Amino acid sequence: MQLAPRQLDLFGRPLGLSRPQAPAPRPEVTRLEVLPLPVPVLAERPPTRQETLARARALAARIAEHLGPELRVLLTVHDNRSTMISFRRQPPLLKIRAHHMFLDAPLEVVQSIADYAGRGRQGAGVALDDYIAAQQRHIRAVPRRAGQLESLGECFDLQELFARMNEAHFENGIAARIGWGRNTSKRRRKSIRLGVYDHKAKEIRIHPALDRPDVPRFFVEFIVFHEMLHQLFPSDRDTGRHVHHPRAFRDRERAFPKYAAAMAWERQHLQELLRR
């Protein structure tokens, strides 16, 4: 469960790509960052870091060409399994995190990245979804080993809460691992993801900001319940857009016995959670 996200996920419906615009003068690319990437399954050898940096530099420059000198591009290339591209506009900076599948993207897809991230054109997001759906073979080409999940926190035992929710609301039909996530951010957040469900790994991770004595048990139970619902109601498609919480999901979520109390507590304490 994420508060105030701005991201594009791995779903969508085919839609025509937008027409490329004439390139503007090339602005400065301020920084490139390449996180560890997988070895392509069919490749004779893995790409070197220098080769990957060169491709990332070329992608950043191609995006920048479509935006003009008013924005400078900061690009991070990653191998995330769910969020393929996300961005944050902080003029004059445009910070983009993109999956490595975009390193060799065609001209019209680069145009869509610029329109979606740089200009806020939501229609371009549909074209990106279409490209992502066609590139699924590049997602986690090398399977990630299951990491250790620690469910016992200082204040809450997530495994115990999971078992209780599973019996009370799902007839023990949800099969997933659960544990506390890692709190690595040292900066003030503008959003916080209190929980996440990984469909491929069948893992639930809960933000450690909730493992505190001032957080009520019913709220942690609600977040666990929310993430368990993702296994029961996978993401859907609606009018060409990825629907992370389809109607059936939301209806079932509102049936949680303390739904209203959980929503009220979240609204009242959101700023405290962002500071943790």
Q: Is the peptide bond before 20 cis (omega within 30 degrees of 0)?
A: no
Both tokens assigned to 104: 């060799």
Annotated domain spans of the chain? 2-138, 158-274
Predicted pLDDT at 154: 92
Domain 158-274 sits in CATH at 3.30.2010.10
Both tokens assigned to 273: 């959670």
DSSP reduced 3-state for 105: coil
Residue 54 · residue 101 · CB < 8 Å: no
Percent helix, strand, coil in the chain, to 5, is: 40, 20, 40
CA 39 to chain centre: 22
CA 164 to chain centre: 28
**Taking the CA atoms of the chain, what radius of gyration do you get in angstroms?**
20
What is the pTM (predicted TM-score) of this model?
0.50
- CA dist 220 and 222 (Å) reads 5
Predicted pLDDT at 112: 92
φ/ψ of 209, rounded to 5, equals: -60, -20
What is the DSSP secondary structure assignment for residue 196, as one 8-state letter?
Answer: E
Predicted pLDDT at 34: 57
Query: Could you tell me the mean pLDDT of each successive run of 10 residues in the chain, 276 residues long?
Result: 46 36 50 55 60 89 88 86 82 89 91 90 83 74 59 94 95 94 66 84 92 94 95 66 75 95 92 79
Predicted pLDDT at 31: 57
Measure the N-to-C terminal CA separation of the chain; round to a whole number of Å.
Answer: 17
